[in-house]
Structure 1
Amino acid sequence: MSLSRIVLRLARNPGTEFAGGDDHRGYTLTAPLTSDGHLDEAAYAKHRAACSVRRFTPDEDAVDGRLARKGSRWFFDYDSADTADDEPVHRLGDHRFALGEYVTVTDEDGRALTYKVMEVAVIPA
């Protein structure tokens, strides 16, 4: 099983303060992917401790968390003792992580924002 580094950057979000997008806001994920670029659920189940997320913005320190799953619902979790900080990801299990694809994340303020996949790279073992 290999893990991939996936970088998502804030895409254009009309009707928000990020109408033009923002390359300095986003997420870096570490997760196993299938050969066609989807999350590998079987590999995730075996290696969930290695699956992480880092949220970055220019006006705050980066925040580290984990990629988590409950049933079919995927989310980013920054404190396992507190569910209030969870950031749900819309249909994350259905997304293909390939350059140019889009992912919607509900941020810590409850806003659904669109991010663009800007990098996908296998992490050398």
Structure 2
Amino acid sequence: MPLNIAFELNETHLLCLATGRIETSEELYQFNTAMVQAVEKTGLRRILLDMQKSDSSLDYHDVLTAENRETSDRFAMGGIRIAAVVSPHRLKAHQLYETMAINRSIVYKAFSGKQQALDWLHA
């Protein structure tokens, strides 16, 4: 199933619901671009990214390829903070993404629980 993205506006953050599968670095780039555009449209800088019903077949190189495009700079320069809620079996992969994000000055952290993610997002 291809990736589907839906956004919900909350008082303090933007909820991004992702379902389906990311198959290519281009799809990841489009996903990142959609998040940046939603932030620019709403003015909210905190994103609760719910990826519990999504999956990815991307390897390290694929993610790096997507992250090396200009959306990475827009995340960092826009002061965007992202708390990702992922299924427990995907947590280790997303912790690798945390390292990639830190190396690009992007504030991103993965959690297996929604409340933990919200607490960090608003800390």
Structure with higher Rg: it is 1
Whichever structure has more helix as a proportion of its residues is 2
Higher relative contact order (CA 8 A, sep 6+): 1
The structure with more strand, counted as a fraction of residues = 1
TM-score higher than 0.5 here? no
TM (norm. structure 1) is: 0.28
